[in-house]
């Protein structure tokens, strides 16, 4: 694995992300436009996932090394730095979004590192971080067990693992509407239909798999409806807080 003791402005690329999946290709192609719409949307709307992550990190963040996987343009990295985190690491598989993150951070944030990687290949040492989070980045995989083992490897004992993802109930609704066959991905419009994203539907059992519960204790589960889906009668998002077992 990569040694992270390097200048914060340096971005290293790992060979495992050279073979892109559809989510990486989407951000490499549409990253700037997506970012503009995302920032505009959340400047006018609440972001329950971000608030959940911040509250979960709590008052001890000044002692923590926190890692955001799928960090995008790095907006949340700045928030964790402002909260007082000892060290912040952003991991992102899209080369385009890593470039945007470098622009976001500039030269004045030596406590923040950017690293190319993904959930199944986290380029950090064993037991090196206190919290790992994924805000709408974890669910893009078809299966989670390999990623869960990577998270467990990198986290310290009692470390936090935080997920914000589409709710399985909402996934099931869309999968039924689109008459998906096993293995097919959903096509979901976002930001008032300006983009179509693809990801596989998931069940709650996917997130709370045997592998997950062997390594983590579920401390909190929160269902919510995103503001853009305020007319929905069922939850559209799920927030999960896990703690690594000793």
User: How is the chain split into domains, by residue range?
Assistant: 15-244
Mean pLDDT over 3-25 rounds to: 41
Query: Cβ(135)–Cβ(76) under 8 Å?
Result: yes
Radius of gyration for the alpha carbons in the chain, expressed in angstroms and rounded:
17
* DSSP 8-class letter at 208: T
Tell me the pLDDT tens digit for each residue of 141-198. Answer: 999 999 999 999 999 999 999 999 999 999 999 999 999 998 899 998 776 677 788 8
Instruction: Give me the helices (H) in the chain, please.
Output: 22-44, 48-57, 75-83, 95-105, 145-154, 168-177, 204-207, 210-215
Tell me the pLDDT tens digit for each residue of 68-82. Answer: 999 988 999 999 999
Predicted pLDDT of residue 86: 96
User: What is the rounded CA–CA span in Å between residue 155 and residue 109?
Assistant: 23
Length of the chain, please?
246
Residue 205 exposed, middle or buried by CB count within 10 Å (0-12, 13-18, 19+): exposed
Our CA angle for 167, 168, 170, nearest 5°, is: 65
- 193 phi, psi to nearest 5 deg: 80, 10
Tell me the pLDDT tens digit for each residue of 78-124. Answer: 999 999 999 999 999 988 889 889 999 988 898 999 999 999 999 99
Give residue 127's Cα distance to chain centre: 19
Half-sphere exposure of 98 (CA within 13 A, CB side): 22
User: What is the rounded CA–CA span in Å between residue 29 and residue 235?
Assistant: 30
Query: Cβ(182)–Cβ(196) under 8 Å?
Result: no
User: What is the rounded CA–CA span in Å between residue 30 and residue 137?
Assistant: 16
Our CA angle for 165, 167, 169, nearest 5°, is: 160
**Long-range Cβ pairs for the range 238-241 (8 Å, 24+):** 238/163, 238/164, 238/165, 238/166, 238/167, 238/168, 238/204, 238/207, 239/48, 239/49, 239/52, 239/162, 239/163, 239/164, 240/162, 240/163, 240/165, 240/207, 241/52, 241/56, 241/160, 241/161, 241/162
User: What is the rounded CA–CA span in Å between residue 176 and residue 234?
Assistant: 15
Query: Cβ(97)–Cβ(73) under 8 Å?
Result: yes
Mean pLDDT of the chain: 84
Q: State what percent of residues in the chain have pLDDT above 90.
A: 60
**Adjacent-strand bridge partners of 236:** none
**Fold exhibited by the domain 15-244:** Rossmann fold (3.40.50)
User: What is the rounded CA–CA span in Å between residue 84 and residue 137?
Assistant: 24
Predicted pLDDT of residue 178: 95
């Amino acid at each position: 694995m990569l040694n992270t003791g390097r200048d914060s402005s340096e971005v290293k690329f790992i060979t495992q992300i050279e073979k892109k999946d559809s989510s990486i290709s989407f951000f490499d192609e549409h990253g700037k436009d997506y970012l503009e719409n995302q920032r505009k949307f959340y400047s006018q709307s609440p972001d329950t996932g971000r608030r959940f992550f911040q509250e979960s990190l709590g008052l001890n963040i000044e002692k923590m090394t926190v890692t955001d996987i799928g960090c995008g343009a790095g907006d949340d990295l700045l928030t964790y730095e402002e909260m007082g985190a000892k060290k912040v690491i952003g991991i992102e598989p899209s080369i385009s979004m890593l470039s945007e993150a470098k622009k976001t951070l500039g030269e004045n944030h030596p406590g923040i590192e950017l690293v190319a990687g993904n959930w199944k290949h986290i380029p950090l040492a064993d037991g090196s971080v206190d919290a790992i989070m994924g805000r709408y980045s974890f669910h893009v995989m078809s299966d989670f067990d390999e990623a869960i083992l990577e998270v467990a490897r990198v986290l310290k004992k009692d470390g936090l693992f935080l997920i914000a993802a589409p709710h399985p109930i909402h996934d099931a609704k869309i999968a039924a509407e689109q008459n998906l066959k096993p293995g097919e991905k959903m096509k979901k419009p976002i930001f008032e239909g300006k983009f179509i994203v693809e990801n596989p539907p998931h069940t709650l059992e996917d997130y709370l798999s045997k592998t997950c519960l062997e390594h983590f204790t579920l401390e909190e589960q929160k269902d919510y409806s995103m503001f853009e889906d305020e007319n929905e009668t069922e939850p559209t998002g799920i927030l999960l807080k896990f703690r690594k077992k000793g």
